[in-house]
Amino acid sequence: MECLRDETPADRLYRKGLAIRYERHGGLWMPIMWRLALRGHTGAMIELADWFSYDNSAKAFGTPADAFSPAGLYHRAHRKGDARAAYNAAMSCFNRNDMAGYRRWLRRATNAGDADAGTRLRYFETRLWHSAARKVGRLRPEQKRDKFA
């Protein structure tokens, strides 16, 4: 119960937006996320960046200089200390076949404290098992270590 008292109104609004998006509650989730992102909520920035980079094209990803492109949203969320933003940016780079960006963002996620990113950086696999890797020609069979990730 103590964690509920520590929750801010922005966190409650973020949870409401996630419930609308993923659990099909009534309402519009996009305006909620935009409101939170404009006020610096890192979770909302990551949700919007994930939504806008759905097709994994370089044009849709944008540049970090554009604050409202997926790259800019990931960059701003990472600068605020969110390791998940750096990890999601790394996976987006992988899905666009940008191995230099993949490694750079994995390193940033590792420095921010993401243990899974550290493992991936240590192995630095250029082939992964998920279906998005098939689209860029970097698919490999699933291995035992993938089940724990």
**DSSP character string of 29-94:** HHHHHHHHHHTT-HHHHHHHHHHHTTT--HHHH--TTSTTSHHHHHHHHHHTT-HHHHHHHHHHHH
| Higher pLDDT pick, 6 / 111 | 111
Please give the pLDDT value at position 2. Answer: 47
Q: What is the DSSP letter of 128?
A: B
Please give the pLDDT value at position 147. Answer: 64
**pLDDT tens profile 82-106:** 999 999 999 898 888 888 998 999 9
Least confident of 3-7, 11-15, 63-67: 3-7
Considering the entire predicted model, what is its pTM?
A: 0.81
How far, rounded to the nearest angstrom, does the alpha carbon of residue 50 sit from its chain's CA centroid? 6
- pLDDT for residue 74 is more than 50: yes
